[in-house]
Structure formats: structure tokens, C-alpha cells
């Protein structure tokens, strides 16, 4: 996630700081399920639902981090994927992120729309093809 926003809520005196340039940041890892509701030919439409855990904090120009705190973001959206071959495809998605648990020290709202651009590699198809070729050599 790329963020480079200036804080409207950051007051250095609240944190014993003098640096006016600190910016809010967020880092997180996420797991997801992707429910496919339309599959035809090489097209798939799906609803990805993602939930994660991470942290928000302020970072000053001299790379000092402060006001670290745990966050739990959830994202839901819609995506469309197209397979160019049996193994490789391309996808795009749109959705919205909501903070289920926020960091009270970092007052910025990280609820936000998001977009995804992705390259899809169908490893299950690749492994199935390899297994099929091995079976043919044995038989």
C-alpha cells in the first residue's frame, strides 16, 4: 500500500515531538477468501474478502517511528479475471477497506477504497499437467 499523505490530526505536542513533518503510515498482512460467482470460458467474476493484522504509526523525516498500535483491517470488493492460457491470467478488482480495530493514537481514518491489478498463475493447472505427463511416461 502506497501512502504519502499529510496528517490533518497530527500535533507534535501530543507525542512529545517537535518535528512537524511526521506522516501517518500503515503496514499489514492479510489473508483472504475469494468467492467466485461467475465462471465461463476464460472469465471469472468473484468477491474477495480479506482480513488482516498490522500496525499504524507516525514516521518523521528522520525515520523515527512513534505512536505504534495494532490494527485489524477488513477489505471486500469485486474482481474480474481473464486467463490468457491454461496457466496465466490477468485480473483487476475494486473494493473498500474498513478498520475493524484502529489505533487510537493515530487519528487518521484508513478506511478507503482500493484497487487491485494482478497477474494470476494457475499453479494447480501446472502441477496437474506435470503429474499427467509423469503418468504417461510410466504407462
Distance, C-alpha 68 to centroid of its chain:
20
pLDDT at site 38? 94
- Dihedral of CA 14/61/75/109: which sign? positive
What does the pLDDT look like over 10-25, one tens digit per residue? 666 666 666 677 788 8
CB atoms within 10 A of CB 49: 15
Question: Would you state the pLDDT for residue 16?
Answer: 66
- Other C-beta atoms lying within 10 Å of the C-beta of residue 75: 20
Closest CA to 53 of 100, 4, 95: 100
Architecture of the CATH domain 12-138: Beta Barrel (2.40)
Task: Determine the distance from the C-alpha atom of residue 107 to the mean position of all C-alpha atoms in its chain, rounded to a whole number.
Answer: 21
Residue 101: the pLDDT is 95
pLDDT tens-place string over residues 77-118: 999 999 999 889 999 999 999 999 998 888 888 899 999 999
Rounded to an integer, what distance in angstroms lies between the CA atom of residue 106 and that of residue 5?
Answer: 13
pLDDT in tens, 50-82: 999 999 998 877 778 888 899 999 999 999 999
pLDDT for res 105: 87
The size of the chain, in residues, is 139
Amino acid at each position: 500500500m502506497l501512502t504519502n499523505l499529510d496528517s490533518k490530526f497530527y500535533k507534535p505536542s501530543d507525542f512529545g515531538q517537535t518535528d512537524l513533518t511526521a506522516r501517518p503510515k500503515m503496514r499489514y498482512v492479510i489473508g483472504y477468501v475469494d468467492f467466485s460467482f461467475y465462471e465461463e470460458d476464460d472469465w471469472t467474476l468473484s468477491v474477495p474478502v480479506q482480513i488482516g493484522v498490522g500496525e499504524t504509526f507516525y514516521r518523521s523525516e528522520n525515520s523515527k517511528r512513534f505512536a505504534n498500535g495494532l490494527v485489524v483491517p477488513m477489505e471486500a470488493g469485486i474482481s474480474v479475471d481473464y486467463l490468457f492460457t491454461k496457466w496465466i491470467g490477468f485480473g483487476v478488482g475494486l473494493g473498500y477497506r474498513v478498520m475493524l480495530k484502529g489505533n487510537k493514537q493515530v487519528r487518521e481514518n484508513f478506511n478507503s477504497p482500493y484497487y487491485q491489478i494482478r497477474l494470476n498463475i494457475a499453479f494447480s493447472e501446472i502441477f496437474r499437467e506435470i503429474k499427467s505427463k509423469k503418468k504417461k511416461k510410466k504407462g
